Structure 1
Amino acid sequence: MFKNFVVLSLLFHANTIMGAKKPKLIVFDLDYTLWPFWVDTHVTPPFKRGPSGKIADFYGQIVKCYPEVPEVLNKLHQEGYVLAVASRTGEIEGAEELLELFGWNKYITYKEIYPGRKVTHFENFKKKSGIPLQDMLFFDDETRNINDLRSHGVTSILVKNGVTKGVVEAGLKQYEKEHSA
C-alpha cells in the first residue's frame, strides 16, 4: 500500500514539475460527436451486426461512427485516461446498443444517457467518481452544452465535424493551458 502511494506521489510530482496537467475524466457526447447522426431520429433501433461485420439499423441502413473514433478511444484508454459518455437522447436503449456493437463499452467507465441538462450528467459523474468538475474534459457538438459546462468549471471543447485525433489533442492542450499555473 505504501509503495502504491509513493508511486502515485512521484507521478503526481513529475506531472506537476513538467507542467503536464491531465484531466482525470474525459467525457464525450454521442450524437454528432462520436457518430454522425441523432440516434433518436436518423436511425431506427434495434441495431445488429451483419455477417460482413457492419452494423445496421432495423431497416438495414448501415450505421457508422466517425472514422477516427475507435482509434481515439483505444489510445486514450491505453494511456490510462478514464472515459465517460453523456447524452441527452431519449433513445437510451439504442445508444446503449450502439456502444456495445461498436465495442466501446470496454473503454467507458461512466455513462449518463437520458434527456435533461448536461450539467445533471456531470454532477452524477462527480458523485459516482469523486472527480471534481474542474478535473474533467468534455467534447460536444452543441454550443449550449459547452457553455453550460464551462460555467461550471469543465474544460469544454466544441466538436464541429466529429471527434478526431486532432480535436482530442487540441482538447488536451486546452485543458493543460487552463490548468497550468
Structure 2
Amino acid sequence: LPQLVVLDLDATLWEPELYQLRNLPGYKDASGPGPVADKDVAMFDGAVNALAEVATAERWAKTQLAVASRTNKGPWAESLLKQFRVAGLSLDDLFVHKEIYSSSKTRHFQALREKTGIEYEDMLFFDDAKGGKWGNCEPVAKMGAMSAHCPDGLTSEVWRNALEEFSAAKT
C-alpha cells in the first residue's frame, strides 16, 4: 500500500468546483460563510468509500492522507474539509497534510515530500486533470508518484484499479 495517498479536491473529491460557485456571497475573496457541505458541494460516492476504507481498515494504519489543491478558494476548501465527515471524522482530521494554495501540483508534492519524508514512489495521487496546461497527473507522475486520472471524480473503480497498479509496481 502507498505510504501517502494524495487527493485533489475540486472535481476529484467533490463537485462542483469551487470557482463555479459564483452565486455565493463572498465569492471574490472566498470569505464567509462560504459553501455548505452536502448543500452547495457534494462528495463523490467513490471518494467517501475510499476515505472510509483508509480511516477504518487495519491494513491502512500506516498510510497517511493528504490534499493537494491549487484552488484560489482556500478558505472555502478548508471550511468544507471541517464540515464533511467520513467514518465519524472530519476530513480536516483525516487529511493529515494539506497543501491548498494557488501553485503547481509539483510544488505541492515537493512540500509534501519535505513535510513527510515519504519518497514520491511511495505516494499515490488522484486528480481529475491529466495533462495539458492545467494537467496535474502527468507532471506529478514525472516526479515519480503514481497518478490516477479521475475524469468523473474519484470512483470506486478508479480507486481499486489504482491500488492494484500501485501494488503491481511494487512487486
TM-score, scaled relative to structure 2:
0.81
Give the letter aligned to residue 34 of structure 1. L
What's the RMSD between the two structures over aligned residues? 1.7
1:55 is displaced (CA, Å) by 4.2
1:179 is displaced (CA, Å) by 2.0
Alignment check: 8 A CA contact 1:47 1:55 kept: no
Unaligned runs of 5+ in 1: 1-21, 57-61
- Whole-Å separation in 2 of the counterparts to 1:48 and 1:150: 32
Q: Secondary structure at the match of 1:151?
A: helix
Partner of 1:40: 19
1:177 is displaced (CA, Å) by 1.9
Kindly provide the CA deviation profile for residues 32-74 of structure 1, in whole angstroms up to 9, marking residues without a partner as x: 000122113336352365xxxx644xxxxx3211123223212
- Counterparts of 1:80-99 in structure 2 under 5 Å? 80=61, 81-99=63-81
Work out which of the two has the higher radius of gyration on C-alpha atoms and give 1 or 2. Answer: 1
Partner of 2:154: 163
Kindly provide the CA deviation profile for residues 94-146 of structure 1, in whole angstroms up to 9, marking residues without a partner as x: 00011111021221110000011101000101011110111100000001211
Unaligned runs of 5+ in 2: 25-31, 85-89
| 1:31 is aligned to 2:10 | yes
Give the letter aligned to residue 136 of structure 1. M
Q: After alignment, is 140-149 or 78-87 more displaced?
A: 78-87
- Whole-Å separation in 2 of the counterparts to 1:63 and 1:28: 16
Kindly provide the CA deviation profile for residues 6-30 of structure 1, in whole angstroms up to 9, marking residues without a partner as x: xxxxxxxxxxxxxxxx110000000
Among 52, 58, 73, which residue is 1:74 paired with?
Answer: 52
